[in-house]
A = this chain, B = another copy of it.
Amino acid sequence: MPPKNVDLRREAGQRTRDQLLTAALDLLAERGPEGVTLREITEAAGANVAAVSYHFGSLHVLCETAAEHALARYLDAQHEAMSALAPSSTLLELAAAFARPMVDALAAGGHDLAVMRTVARFGADPPAGWDRLDDKFDETRRDALRVLKAHLHGVKERELVFRLRCAAGMVNWLALAPIGAELAGKPTKQIERLLLPVLAGAFRGDPAAS
């Protein structure tokens, strides 16, 4: 018999940890960061209340970890869409890649969109100690700046970065506000036809301005 290289106890612990994380993310998506309770999470995860303290230290840490994972997945999806861009790509193509994860979530609606709400909330004011995500932010920013610079020679990099963050705000807003709820479930093409021109226009800026 081959030697068992797994410890069933640790394996079980990892499973409850994962179940707690997904339960926490689900409830965060439903009720928002301040509306989740320890007992709701543990009940949904089929775990004991003490499991949270045991595995994460506190409810606060559990929620932040769950949100951080979701935000990381979001940034990864965005980076994957944008890494296919070339400097010769149009601003409309840049907008499409930039908004891809949110557009997909809008088209899917339901739970995916609810998770995006959590991502947007925590993206609005990221807790201290999420430096691990800084690299991911930098990645998408580099990809985007390469395209922007190719189209907007006269604009300072500082302004281009600002436009990117405005675009991120606009996209995130769709996850938070009623306007996004109205789009939920619509076909991807329809959402893109509405959203991408606005996004690309924001990137381009106004020609009348200096």
Q: Which residues of A line the B interface, CB within 8 A?
A: 32-35, 90-92, 95, 123-126, 159, 162-163, 165-166, 169-170, 172-174, 176-179, 193-206, 208-210
Taking CB as reference atom, which chain B residue is nearest A91? B206
Q: CA separation between A197 and B160, bound complex, in Å?
A: 11
Q: CA separation between A32 and B32, bound complex, in Å?
A: 12
Tell me the interface secondary structure of chain A in the complex: helix
Taking CB as reference atom, which chain B residue is nearest A165? B179
Q: Which residue of B176, B199, B208 contacts A90 across the interface (Cβ within 8 Å)?
A: B208
Which residues on the B side are within 8 Å of A196 (C-beta)?
A: 206, 209
Q: Shortest beta-carbon distance, A64 to chain B, in Å?
A: 16
* Contact yes or no, B197 A201, CB < 8 A: no
Q: Which residue of B33, B162, B173, B197 contacts A124 across the interface (Cβ within 8 Å)?
A: B173
Which residues on the B side are within 8 Å of A32 (C-beta)?
A: 34
Q: Which residue of B125, B162, B169, B208 contacts A200 across the interface (Cβ within 8 Å)?
A: B208
Taking CB as reference atom, which chain B residue is nearest A202? B202
Q: CA separation between A44 and B35, bound complex, in Å?
A: 24
Q: Which residue of B124, B173, B201 contacts A201 across the interface (Cβ within 8 Å)?
A: B201
The 5 closest A-B pairs by CB, nearest first: A169-B173, A34-B34, A200-B206, A197-B209, A197-B205
Which residues on the B side are within 8 Å of A199 (C-beta)?
A: 202
Residue from A92, A124, A210 whose CB has the most chain B CB atoms within 10 Å: A124
